[in-house]
Amino acid sequence: MRDRFFVEGVHAAGDRVAFAADDARKLVTVLRKRTGDRVQVVDSGGVAYAATLDVDAREVSATLDEQLSGGEVEASLAVTIAQAVPKGQKMDLVVEKATELGAFAIVPVRSARVIGHDTSPAKVERWRRIARSAAQQSGRMRVPEIPDVLDWDALLATFSRYDRVFVPWELAEPAPLRAAFESGLAGARSVLVAIGPEGGFSAGEIERARAAGAVTVSLGHRILRTETAALVVLSAILYARGEL
C-alpha cells in the first residue's frame, strides 16, 4: 500500500483511472502487481486514494476506493526554485533533490550566461519525468510543476505572483541568511528563489531583478556551485519555517 502513483485529472471515490505507460510498466513488471492488489493513487488536485488495481492486456487501471487523509506532506510555504540551466546533467540533480526537499515548482531559466547549455523541450520533458518519480519516491502529494524554459526578463515579469523573491548573488553584502529569512519570510506563503548559472548573473540582470522587487542575498564567503546553491537555499528556507 505504500506504492503511490500520480494520475492526471481531479477524481472522486468510485472513479476508474488509467495509469501512464511508464507507471503501468512499473506496476506490472517491477512491482509485480496483479488485479485486486491495492495501491495509493494521487490525483492532480493532490488528493490521495486507496485504490484497487485492474491489470489487463491493454491497460493498467484502478478503481478509487476511498479518499485518504492528506497528512502534512506538503510544505506550508510554497517555494519555487528558478534555476538558470547549468551544463550537462546538473539540472537533473537539482530537480530530483529539490523535489525531495519539497519545492513547490522548479522553473528552468535561460539567463545571459546560460548560452550554449541544453534547454531543449526534450530536456524539459526529462526534468518533468525526474520530478514525477522523485515526488513518488518521497511520498509527496503533488509533483512540482516544471514550466517551459523562461528567459530572465520573462521570469522577472512573474515576480509579482510571489510574496517574496530572493536572488542569491555572490557579490551581495555578506550577512547571515538566518537573519534575512527570519524576518524576511514572516507571513509569506509563496517564495521565489532565482539561482544563477555557473557563470553567475550579469550586473544588468541583478539590477533588473532588484528593480522588479527581488532581494539579493549572500550565501556566505565561499562560492557555491550553482546546484549546491539551489539546494542550500531551499533547505534554509524550509528550516527557517520549521519544515525540516
Closer CB to ligand SAH, residue 190 or residue 218? 218
From 227, 115, 117, 209, select the one nearest 171 (Cα to Cα). 209
Residues 6+ apart with CB under 8 A from 99: 106, 130, 131, 134, 135, 138, 140, 143, 144
How many chain residues are in contact with ligand SAH, going by CB under 6 A? 17
Q: Which of 49, 62, 201, 238 binds ligand SAH (CB under 6 A)?
A: 201
Q: Should residue 229 be labelled a site residue for ligand SAH when binding is judged by CB under 6 A?
A: yes
Q: Which of 40, 199, 212, 240 lies at the binding interface for ligand SAH (CB under 6 A)?
A: 199
Which grid cell sits at 228?
A: 549546491
Does residue 26 sit in helix, strand or coil? helix
Give the burial string for 114-146 (b: 16+ CB within 10 Å, else e).
beebebeeebbebbbebbbbbbbeeebbbbbeb
* Backbone φ and ψ of 154, nearest 5°: -70, -35
The interface region with ligand SAH, picked from 87-95, 150-158, 164-172, 177-185 by CB under 6 A, is: 164-172
Pair 86, 117: CB distance under 8 Å: yes
Backbone angles phi, psi at 43, to 5 degrees: -90, 180
By the rule CB under 6 A, 202 interacts with ligand SAH: no
DSSP letter assigned to residue 145: B
Whichever of 18 and 232 has its CB closer to ligand SAH, that residue is 232
Which residue is closest to ligand SAH by CB?
196
Does 162 bind ligand SAH (CB under 6 A)? Our answer is no
Smallest CA-to-CA distance from 128 within 151, 99, 152, 100 is with 99
Smallest distance, Å, CB 187 to ligand SAH? 24
Shortest distance, CB of residue 224 to ligand SAH, whole angstroms?
Answer: 4
Is residue 46 at the binding interface for ligand SAH, with CB under 6 A as the rule? no
Binding to ligand SAH, residues 173-192 (CB under 6 A): none
Q: According to the binding rule CB under 6 A, does residue 195 interact with ligand SAH? A: yes
CB of 110 to ligand SAH, least distance (A): 14
Contact between 226 and ligand SAH (CB under 6 A)?
A: yes
Where does this chain bind ligand SAH (CB under 6 A)? 168-170, 172, 195-196, 199-201, 218-220, 222-224, 226, 229
